[in-house]
Amino acid sequence: MFYRCKILNVNFPSSMSLGTFVKHLPFSIPKTSLPPQRLNFKSLTTTTTCVTRSSSYFETLNSRQKDQIHLYVDALLQWNQKMNLTAVNEVNEVMERHIEDSLAIIPPIQNSYISSCNNSFDNLRIVDVGSGAGLPGLVLAVACPGWEVTLVESMNKRCLFLEHAVSLIGLSNVQVVRERAEKLGQDSNFRERFDVAVARAVAEMKVLAEYCLPLVRVGGLFVAAKGHNPQDEVKSAERATKLMGASVLQLCSVESHSPHGQRTAIICLKNRPTPRKYPRDPGGS
């Protein structure tokens, strides 16, 4: 069962298109970097950094988008007083640890989608699995108004917050779905319907592969935002990733305000349909 949030008929006067926004993002790609390749798990420790950040992504947003982010952060901290949405409770900390980290995965999505999927990234269908407080999906929807973003969350209280935030901000490109990812992946309305699935701090990589990849179309991407050193986790998930019909393209390191100063976007390309039995029901074999 799922609930769509109420969509407001709001126009988006914007001084900056998505293409212009991404072009001005403060990241660079090493001149010696190669196109994304399937990873050799024997040499994961030598994987090169494909994205770096020298300043704030938030500062690249236009004034309307910044206002929307501030409204979201204020609502997040207000609701956090009565329910568990985030462990941080200061505005600056939310901006650094959540907003900047969420915006930081846009360049990896852009680079991998253009190089591997041979399509424009201006009008993507995104699903954020285990969205929680809307991270990163709601932030992506603000930064990229041309993207259609689906926030998947199983807890009703969190869905109520997400619907409130979407209405408060005035987003017309977001729907909130209250359901477990395991069940949604077997729903023909959602199965293999998305260009990109994203997940941040939800579960281990091998579990995320089964939750997320059934929702991704063949030729689409799965992007998992992980910690600074996820090589072992990626290696242990190799079998599950292949079983779901995908392969790992690359690990993209991004600067972060996390304790280790770095996070990693694990980029997977879906090569073939996911076997029909997946995802399995909770507790299934």
pTM (2 d.p.): 0.81
pLDDT, position 73:
98
Tokens of 244: 């779901």
pLDDT, position 260:
54
Is 183 part of a structural domain of the chain? yes
Is 65 part of a structural domain of the chain? yes
Task: Say if CB 244 and CB 213 are below 8 A apart.
Answer: yes
Task: Using alpha carbons, select from 189, 268, 168 the residue that is nearest to residue 221.
Answer: 268
Is 279 part of a structural domain of the chain? no
Is 104 part of a structural domain of the chain? yes
Tens of pLDDT along 72-124?
A: 999 999 999 999 999 999 999 999 889 999 999 999 999 999 988 877 888 99
pLDDT, position 259:
59
pLDDT, position 257:
65
Task: Please provide the distance, in angstroms rounded to a whole number, between the alpha carbons at the two ends of the chain.
Answer: 23
pLDDT, position 223:
97
pLDDT, position 119:
78
pLDDT, position 258:
57
Task: Say if CB 213 and CB 189 are below 8 A apart.
Answer: no
The total number of structural domains in the chain stands at 1
pLDDT, position 128:
98
Provide the CATH number for the domain around residue 205. Answer: 3.40.50.150
pLDDT < 70 positions in the chain: 1-55, 201, 256-261, 283-285
- What is each CA distance from 77 to 96, 167, 223, 274, in whole angstroms? 14, 16, 27, 39
pLDDT, position 50:
62
Is 2 part of a structural domain of the chain? no
Tokens of 225: 């935002």
pLDDT, position 150:
98
Is 40 part of a structural domain of the chain? no
CB atoms within 10 A of CB 266: 26
Q: Which range of residues forms the domain containing residue 134?
A: 59-270
Is 45 part of a structural domain of the chain? no
Is 96 part of a structural domain of the chain? yes
pLDDT, position 121:
84
Tens of pLDDT along 182-199?
A: 999 999 999 999 999 999
pLDDT, position 42:
40
